[in-house]
Structure 1
Amino acid sequence: MRRLVGSFAIALAAGLVLGGMTHLAIVLAMPTLAGNSAYDRHAAALAPGETRLLTEQADDGGVPFADPAVAMAVCAFDITDAPLRVSAPMPEGFGSLSVHGRDGTVLYSVTDRTAVDGVVSLIVMTRQQHDEALATGRGDEASQELRFVSPRMQGLVVVRALAAYPSGLPEARERAAAMECMGEAD
């Protein structure tokens, strides 16, 4: 009887450990396996270089539970062939620009504090493109542009503009929508 209870306890413990490991693996794999990611939705709907102003309604492709005082715009990128140039005018209050990988991971982020004359200029490129730009002497010509060597080839650039007061929301939306994303080949 004692041997039967011991065997049952070992089998139960092994089952719980195996079940826990399986559960953890499935939870961690879900973002990779999900087919309706933010990148998939926006990349399919946006032309290269096109910027879309996001809304707070989730049913039209916007952002669920978005802060109503923050205007957001997005553009999708693929830097496989050429670097991406981003130019985003920042609002008077707070603004930010972030680069996200295809899986949603934040790769790079800056705030309005890095703006020169009210505009954040960023070049997103691969390591090889960066090395080529330095080798051809193009690395020194744009001293007011930020450069980011991305570990991912595809993703999203998101700009956020905070409206300090409700009356400032139209201006914040206008500034967010004014973000330009262009491939260097364009």
Structure 2
Amino acid sequence: MKLRNRFLLATLVGLVLAGGVHIAAILAAPHFAQQDAFEKILPTLSAEQAQIISAPGGGNTWLPLPDPSVAVAACAFDLEDGPSRISAKTGAPFLSFSFHTKTDGVFFAVTDRAAVRGDLEIVIMTARQLDEARAAEDENDPSRDVRVVAPERRGFVIVRVAAPTPSLRAQAEEAAKAVSCTVDEEP
């Protein structure tokens, strides 16, 4: 009986240990991934326009199952050099933005409904950069920018433009490519 109890205890301890290692490996995998979403979008850091990563009707994409009615573009940001400005002209196709950190996922999202007179200006900044911008702001001329405080210095923006009909696919792709991603010159 004692041998059987020891065998069961050893088996139970082995299963618990194996389960713990398995769960730890799954949770740690994203931190060690070489080709995660940020690494794929990182080359857009020096570009001034969003880069298409999936377009309606096919083409170059690294998304596993791209939506055929949505053009998707992306650009990376690094707040080390200052706030990042994301600018877009709004129009007929639905336009949305989601802001992601390098490691923790989505921290902000906005649609074209936030546009003022057809222009959507979003400034991503650190809390310190926001304080500096508020201190330099003129009380009589407040900023019309949507200001977003990023939890990390590096991240990326995903732009989605809807193409509800096949005839609007080219327009959706052009709208996604027209999104500007630059380092903000103003405080």
Q: What TM-score, normalized by structure 2, do the two folds share?
A: 0.88
Q: After superposition, where does 1:65-104 map in structure 2 within 5 Å?
A: 65-103=65-103
Q: Which string of whole-angstrom CA distances, capped at 9 and with x for unpartnered residues, describes residues 99-154 of structure 1?
A: 11113611111112222223321110001111111222368845321111000111
The percentage of aligned residue pairs carrying the same residue is: 36
My pick for the range that moved more, 54-63 or 155-164, is: 54-63
Cα gap change, 1:141/1:106 in structure 2, threshold over 3 Å: closer, same or farther? Answer: farther
| Cα distance, 1:93 vs structure 2 | 4.0
Aligned to 1:180: 180
| Cα distance, 1:64 vs structure 2 | 2.4
Cα gap change, 1:104/1:168 in structure 2, threshold over 3 Å: closer, same or farther? Answer: farther
In structure 2, distance between residues paired with 1:100 and 1:27: 21
Cα gap change, 1:36/1:65 in structure 2, threshold over 3 Å: closer, same or farther? Answer: same
For the residue of structure 2 that corresponds to 1:68, the secondary structure is coil
Cα gap change, 1:83/1:45 in structure 2, threshold over 3 Å: closer, same or farther? Answer: closer
Aligned to 2:10: 11
In structure 2, distance between residues paired with 1:17 and 1:138: 62
In structure 2, distance between residues paired with 1:45 and 1:129: 22
| Cα distance, 1:48 vs structure 2 | 4.2
For the residue of structure 1 that corresponds to 2:35, the secondary structure is coil
In structure 2, distance between residues paired with 1:138 and 1:52: 34
For the residue of structure 2 that corresponds to 1:103, the secondary structure is coil
My pick for the range that moved more, 136-145 or 154-163, is: 136-145
For the residue of structure 1 that corresponds to 2:81, the secondary structure is coil
Aligned to 2:111: 111
Q: After superposition, where does 1:1-186 map in structure 2 within 5 Å?
A: 2-44=1-43, 46-55=45-54, 60=60, 62-103=62-103, 105-137=105-137, 141-185=141-185
Gaps of 5+ in 2: none
Q: What TM-score, normalized by structure 1, do the two folds share?
A: 0.88
RMSD between aligned residues: 2.4
In structure 1, distance between residues paired with 2:139 and 2:82: 15
| Cα distance, 1:91 vs structure 2 | 4.2
Pairs aligned (count): 185
Asked if the contact 2:85/2:122 (under 8 Å) is kept, the reply is yes
